Structure 1
């Protein structure tokens, strides 16, 4: 089944994933972007994307219809759900956003159009067909495979990455039957130059997505573990990696704080499903434990090196460099442990929203000029603005006999007249 240029498409959720996808689709199809956050819609209509994934010119030039009202989205041919899939305080999957979006979509379906509901949210195998599909049937009285159809196409958005954008990556698609798979391949195929991979089944596509991030998590956990081992030996992980990296098949993973909406979350979806099946996912959970404990380990190292409690400037709160995304940032673990050890902590980040930091983590964040002097200056997130600081500005932030802690070795090539530490 080929796509039709008059297929009406609704993208539900306009965050890092949904907005770039919706704009790409809008170049070929009539697209409505739905987000329950009215403030988000107002900003987008004014040409401002708080995620910094889309430029104002691209927003202004698009034919997309933006709305926070589901009433504007009745009777579409394809609904694409791109809402978050977080975990709760016990690291169990929180399907609340996906189920809420599913309820919204269910109320909009027109069986006469034989609509397709596609999920891009990361889930464990079975959620689309065994949870979302039956919920739609229950709410609507419609029959799956007859009145509506299901599909899955895992998102692969990497915040801040301008190379692997939605219009350049290989897109995995799967429908509940061959005809739907072909239709989704045709729809997604017109928006990406990276090609389409047709997964064997929806569950296969769900599984492929969840292991992509679990694999990275486990590899980074190994890096974090050996970093802690080498610290006991007085070795820098960066020196070790430079030597090991000369071997042709050595994998170039690096240690660090593992946060964000994917790598620090998705392995818990897979481990949850494994435990439901009576299997204990030892490797997955061991990796998660190591990475979840890395922030506290960093804080303890800084405390030991300082030799006393004092003032600390933490530079960077976002979960990764050059993005404003605060979701699941593990910098907060370092901050919490430093405070627990008696240090007075000041937080700076030029990109994040201070109101969001206050709401999500009860932290005050400065976004202006760097000022003051501190016993410890921790460069936790290597934003470009920090990397471009000149030597005098950087060292001027550190008290005499203080410590400059460079978590990702941003300043490794500089001769700085200050006591330094890195992993």
Structure 2
């Protein structure tokens, strides 16, 4: 393994931790197509906030924005995002572009590993033909491939890269064993050898589809329990006293995995003429949660002979999960959009999210903090950031303020809605 030189393609939430870990053992380069991003990392600034300037500057990790300057790498690991487009179809543009980038420098004997979430069969059916065509090399004779799905959970200090079992697969048995040894140098939790790349691709999708379906079930039950005047969290706590009950909680389903991965397996299903109504219904249920929040607020206002128009609203949270700056596929942003469509006046506070990126992505102007001495008609809590746990809720409320808390940060007696 001493002669292995690694180039990680993609310097985001997956690529940076992976490249940083490998750089402790191997000659490692991370590539980003953005010159500005590369300069930030070279100067010690990590957009994902995984590493400090001191950690980056003291590491052996090299950062490039021109793939032609990569120093004789023989293992390329692709970690680019795989989102969906406006029609909820898989957007394969990033992975196609990354594959072409690698193809331009691919040499005999090199291995290309994909960690990005893809549809089942994507590595060999979409990516390998690009690599062959653009490199003029023969697959499984002159270059080889592997698939090892990422399991990065941003801000999770317990289930870190090193502490989560790594699934590894290869286009040949020798390739797989090479990758087992490679990843084995950084993964403490152990390596699982998948029997094929398709199995590894499918496992990543299954992990997140299972969560999506179970959260959708909780969201459906939550809507009913709210009508019946009982809190879903109370029901979950009661049910969890049974040994085989698994806890899932209702809520907004955003981010880069749970709210996206099901569409990749639905592409497989469509191509095979297979119906997947449970997966489709779960997606539909979870996508409608922001609308449920708005409709429940409007229902209370209607009883008061009021509307959302002109109401002062405080929206707490824009990232997709707690204590992270990751705003990809934010459903809090959908709540914001619906509020604005109903002509509400909305202040948004999220101490973790980047102001410029939030403005660019969702046209939301973030406040630095909750304004002093300001009270709101409606307060909506979508995230349980640690800083939100210290809020003096009574100070923010008027006599008739509606408080909609989907994270149960607020004392039960101060909440106005069941969720």
Residue by residue over 1:376-421, the C-alpha shift from the partner in whole angstroms, topping out at 9 and shown as x without a partner, is 01111111110122xxx322112221122211101247x6xx5533
Q: Which residue of 1 aligns with 2:218?
A: 223
Q: Does 1:353 align with 2:354?
A: yes
> Is contact 2:405–2:415 with CA below 8 Å preserved after alignment?
no
1:69 aligned to which of 66, 74, 81: 66
Deviation at 1:180, TM superposition (A): 0.3
By how many angstroms is 1:26 displaced?
0.6
Retained in 2: the 8 A contact 1:20–1:53?
yes
Other-structure match for 2:114: 119
**1:369: how far off?**
4.3
Which has the larger displacement, 305-314 or 171-180? 305-314
Q: How far apart, in 2, do the equivalents of 1:30 and 1:412 lie?
A: 52
Give the distance between the partners of 1:368 and 1:398, measured in 2 at CA: 16
SS in 2 for 1:421: coil
Is the 8 Å Cα contact of residues 408 and 422 (structure 1) preserved in structure 2?
no
CA contact (8 A) 2:230 2:418 kept: no
SS of equivalent to 2:161:
coil
Q: Distance in 2 between matches of 1:57 and 1:152?
A: 32
Partner SS for 1:420: coil
Q: Which residues of 2 match residues 291-370 of structure 1 at below 5 A? A: 291-307=286-302, 308=306, 309=308, 310-370=311-371
Helix, strand or coil at the partner of 2:400: strand
Q: For residue 397 of structure 1, what is the aligned residue in structure 2?
A: 396
- Pairwise CA distance, 1:305: 2.5
Equivalent pair of 2:8/2:79 in contact (CA under 8 Å): yes
For 2:46 and 2:252, the matched residues in 1 are separated by 26
Aligned to 1:420: 416
Q: Specify the alignment match of 2:208 in structure 1.
A: 213
Within-5 A mapping of 1:77-226: 77-111=74-108, 114-226=109-221
Partner residue, 1:374 = 376
Give the secondary-structure state (helix, strand or coil) at the position aligned to 1:322: coil
Gaps of 5+ in 1: none
C-alpha distance in 1, partners of 2:291/2:111?
46
Matching of residue 24 in structure 1 with residue 26 in structure 2: no
Picking from 378, 388, 391, the partner of 2:390 is 388
**Secondary structure at 1:230 match in 2:** helix
Return the alpha-carbon distance in structure 2 between the equivalents of residues 108 and 223 of structure 1: 48
Alignment coverage as a number of residue pairs: 412
Q: Which moved more, 1:115-124 or 1:303-312?
A: 303-312
1:226-305 matches, within 5 Å, as 226-305=221-300
CA distance in 2, matches of 1:422, 1:378: 13
2:76 is paired with a residue whose SS is strand
Rate the CA distance shift 1:6–1:244 in 2: closer, same or farther, 3 A.
same
The separation in 2 between residues aligned to 1:57 and 1:305, in whole angstroms, is 52
- Deviations for 1:119-178, whole angstroms, at most 9, x for unmatched residues? 000001111011100111111211001111010000000111111111111100000011
CA distance in 2 between counterparts of 1:269 and 1:367 reads 37
User: Is the CA contact 1:321–1:383 (under 8 Å) kept in the aligned structure 2?
Assistant: yes
Give 1:422 deviation, angstroms: 4.2
Answer whether contact 1:221 1:255 (CA < 8 A) is retained: yes
The superposition leaves residues 259-317 of structure 1 with CA deviations (integer Å, 9 ceiling, x where unpaired) of 00010000000011111110111110000000000111011112223442211110110
2:12 equivalent to 1:8: no
In 2, the alpha carbon distance for the partners of 1:5 and 1:166 equals: 22
CA contact (8 A) 2:169 2:194 kept: yes
